[in-house]
């Protein structure tokens, strides 16, 4: 019995000794043992054309906070939404550069990127997420499918209108128009013009130096639809349309006869902008409300008048068939992204939540899940004396029906380039309206005929 006890005692002592030795070794090694490395965060590169300080920086901050527990973050890369900026984005995508998610701002660029393998087909992501596109964005969302497939998620409601100085209208006794024709628009611009030389205040600024095609996009589409440059079927240009003739002729007359708008030469040579004209009181109306973020920037553009909005005029009453507008700010996933699932998370989050941070700058969500009061409160924040709430809501926020959405792209860059060239010649007096449009039609039809052969 004593022997058994001794043996048991020896085992206990041995066990304790081993435990003490191992513990000492563990303690001795403890200070030298490296901590387990934290898993590196997944960082998405998001490309867009809104300056970071105008909202995207705040969006990235909110996304990073919302997805911190998932070790997911996003960084913003600005690119100009012009020919060189779009070329920069395209070349970076094709070279396999750091692009995970990117914004596209025109249907033409969207189609080009989808057809050139620069965008991922989002159908599998949409299906796995059980996302009801029609419920989320309305029926127009399907107009932006390319060859029947969704290569993007639209995030912005693209509804615009004439941007106007309400104080100038009130002083002249002119109510904010609900509907108007080219002739009525021209008469209002004449009435609001006064002064001479450097002291001249114009009724309207067309901003043709920035994009001469604004004239067609905003003044013809309400009558001709989303493809105003084509006749039905897309095999012939529509440059002999009376609506196009009336729109271009109106602009020429306002610039060169009425002098109720700066000429195209003045706009180009003086590098005029909406900010330099409208926010300084040099014009009473301008082409579009994408300057809302500048309207609110009183430190850079001090002014005291209220900005309001009106629909774009039509050629004649009874010719309005469509509504200007559509869906924009399309988000796509780059095919070379190593983080496509994370990229999809960003797209859904931005479309259904993050875009609210962009509303103060005038970007209205396409997502139907937001209530109108939330949008208006954000749009009008710190702007009660700067924006006319009623017209802003009516023109920019309340969704319209029967949008003029583009669907044809056959030789679009060529025929639009032809028309733009002749519009410039018309506006500068080098060609009469009829001659310029006749020449544009001959040249544009030749391009389309070549595409068909």
Cα 150 to its chain centre, rounded Å, is 18
Domains 42-158+326-370 and 162-324+404-452 share a fold: yes
- Residue 13 pLDDT level (bands cut at 50, 70, 90): very low
Residue 294 scores a pLDDT above 70: yes
Paired tokens of 410: 């056959």
DSSP β-bridge partners for residue 44: 74
Task: For residues 29 and 235, give the distance between their C-alpha atoms in angstroms, rounded to a whole number.
Answer: 80
What mean pLDDT is predicted for residues 358-370? 96
pLDDT in tens, 367-417: 999 999 999 999 999 899 999 999 999 999 998 888 998 888 889 889 999
- Among the four given CATH numbers 3.40.50.970, 1.10.8.60, 1.20.140.10, 3.40.190.10, the one describing domain 42-158+326-370: 3.40.190.10
- Residue 21 pLDDT level (bands cut at 50, 70, 90): very low
Residue 17 scores a pLDDT above 70: no
pLDDT in tens, 169-188: 999 999 999 999 999 999 99
Task: For residues 209 and 352, give the distance between their C-alpha atoms in angstroms, rounded to a whole number.
Answer: 35
| Residue 8 confidence (pLDDT) | 40
pLDDT in tens, 420-443: 999 999 999 999 999 999 999 999
- Dihedral, CA atoms, 49, 53, 59, 63, nearest 10 degrees? 110
- DSSP tally for the chain: helices H, then strands E: 19, 9
Task: For residues 219 and 182, give the distance between their C-alpha atoms in angstroms, rounded to a whole number.
Answer: 9
- Does domain 162-324+404-452 fall under CATH 3.40.50.300? My reply is no
168 with 284: CB under 8 angstroms? Answer: yes
- Average per-residue pLDDT for the chain: 91
Residue 29 scores a pLDDT above 80: no
Task: For residues 429 and 187, give the distance between their C-alpha atoms in angstroms, rounded to a whole number.
Answer: 22
404 with 226: CB under 8 angstroms? Answer: yes
Where are the chain's structural domains?
42-158+326-370, 162-324+404-452
Residue 425 burial by CB count (10 A; 0-12/13-18/19+): exposed, middle or buried?
Answer: middle
What mean pLDDT is predicted for residues 116-142? 96
Q: H-helix or E-strand containing 42? A: strand 42-48
Task: For residues 316 and 304, give the distance between their C-alpha atoms in angstroms, rounded to a whole number.
Answer: 35
109 with 87: CB under 8 angstroms? Answer: no
Residue 6 scores a pLDDT above 80: no
Task: For residues 319 and 313, give the distance between their C-alpha atoms in angstroms, rounded to a whole number.
Answer: 10
Task: For residues 119 and 94, give the distance between their C-alpha atoms in angstroms, rounded to a whole number.
Answer: 10
Share of the chain above pLDDT 90, in %: 81
| Residue 35 confidence (pLDDT) | 52
What mean pLDDT is predicted for residues 56-65? 98
């Amino acid at each position: 019995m004593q022997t058994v006890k001794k043996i048991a005692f020896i085992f206990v002592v041995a066990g304790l000794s081993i435990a003490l030795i191992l513990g000492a070794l563990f303690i001795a090694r403890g200070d030298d043992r490296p901590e387990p490395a934290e898993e590196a965060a997944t960082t998405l590169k998001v490309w867009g054309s809104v300056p970071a300080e105008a909202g995207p920086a705040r969006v990235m901050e909110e996304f990073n906070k919302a997805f911190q527990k998932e070790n997911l973050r996003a960084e913003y890369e600005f690119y100009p939404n012009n020919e060189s900026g779009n070329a920069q984005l395209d070349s970076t995508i094709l070279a396999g550069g750091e692009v995970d998610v990117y914004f596209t701002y025109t249907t033409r660029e969207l189609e080009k990127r989808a057809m050139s393998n620069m965008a991922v087909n989002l159908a599998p992501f949409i299906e796995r997420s059980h996302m009801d596109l029609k419920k989320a964005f309305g029926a127009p969302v399907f107009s932006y499918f390319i060859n029947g497939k969704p290569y993007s998620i639209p995030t912005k409601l693209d509804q615009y209108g004439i941007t106007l100085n309400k104080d100038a209208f009130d002083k002249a006794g002119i109510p904010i128009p609900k509907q108007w024709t080219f002739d009525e628009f021209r008469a209002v611009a004449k009435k609001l013009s006064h002064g001479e030389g450097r002291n001249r205040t114009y009724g309207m600024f067309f901003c043709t130096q920035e994009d001469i095609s604004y004239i067609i996009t905003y003044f013809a589409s309400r009558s001709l639809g989303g493809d105003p440059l084509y006749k039905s079927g897309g095999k012939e240009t529509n440059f002999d349309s009376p609506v196009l003739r009336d729109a271009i002729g109106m602009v020429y007359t306002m610039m060169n006869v009425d002098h109720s708008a700066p000429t195209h030469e003045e706009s180009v040579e003086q590098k005029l902008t909406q900010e330099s004209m409208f926010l300084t009181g040099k014009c009473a109306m301008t082409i579009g409300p994408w300057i809302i973020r500048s309207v609110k920037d009183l430190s850079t553009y001090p002014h005291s008048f209220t900005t309001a909005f009106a629909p774009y005029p039509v050629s004649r009453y009874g010719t309005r068939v469509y509504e200007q507008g559509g869906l924009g700010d399309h988000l796509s996933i780059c095919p070379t992204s190593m983080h496509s699932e994370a990229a999809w998370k960003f797209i859904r989050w931005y479309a259904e939540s993050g875009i609210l941070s962009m509303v103060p700058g005038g970007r209205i969500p396409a997502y139907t899940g937001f209530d109108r009061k939330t949008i208006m409160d954000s749009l009008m924040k710190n702007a009660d004396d700067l924006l006319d709430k009623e017209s802003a809501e009516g023109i920019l926020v309340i969704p319209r029906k029967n949008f003029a959405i583009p669907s044809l792209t056959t030789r679009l860059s060529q025929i639009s380039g032809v028309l733009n060239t002749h519009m410039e010649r018309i506006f500068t007096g080098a060609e009469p309206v009829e001659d310029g449009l006749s020449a544009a039609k001959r040249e544009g039809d030749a391009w389309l005929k070549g595409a068909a052969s």
